[in-house]
Amino acid sequence: MAAQTTVRRKLRARRKVRQAAGERLRLSVFRSSKHIYAQIIDDSKGTTVAAASSAAVKTGTKTDTAAAVGKALAEAAVAKGVSKVVFDRGQYRYHGRVKALADAAREGGLDF
């Protein structure tokens, strides 16, 4: 039962991302039990523009680490000339670590 719920939530979120994307790149988030990963993807070319993960950035709690990942990703994206993205939270609710990553990315200079 839980698998159906997460799959439906994932498809619903991805549908909204595709509708909102236009020419923007996609900031995709993957969350595991220990780490959080984020990457900015150019779907038209199928390439990753910038990426960051908590495996490289470790600070304090998981939420603090997620915020550090968001900030690192924003710095890498701005260095490559990317400022506007669309946020793809995947199957995860916009809460906790995912929200901390998004807020830190916004503070770092990304617009979504």
Q: Report the helix count and the strand count for the chain, using DSSP H and E.
A: 3, 4
For residue range 93-106, list pLDDT tens digits in order.
999 999 999 999 99
Rounded distance between C-alpha atoms, residue 86 and residue 20, angstroms:
7
Residue 90 confidence (pLDDT) above 90: no
Residue 37 within any structural domain of the chain:
yes
Q: What is the pLDDT of residue 56?
A: 87
Average pLDDT, the chain: 91
Residue 96 within any structural domain of the chain:
yes
- Give the structural domain span for 36: 2-106
pTM: 0.86
Residues of the chain by 3-state class (helix, strand, coil), percent to 5: 45, 25, 30
Domain CATH number, residue 62? 3.30.420.100
Q: How many independent structural domains does the chain possess?
A: 1
Residue 111 within any structural domain of the chain:
no
Residue 29 within any structural domain of the chain:
yes
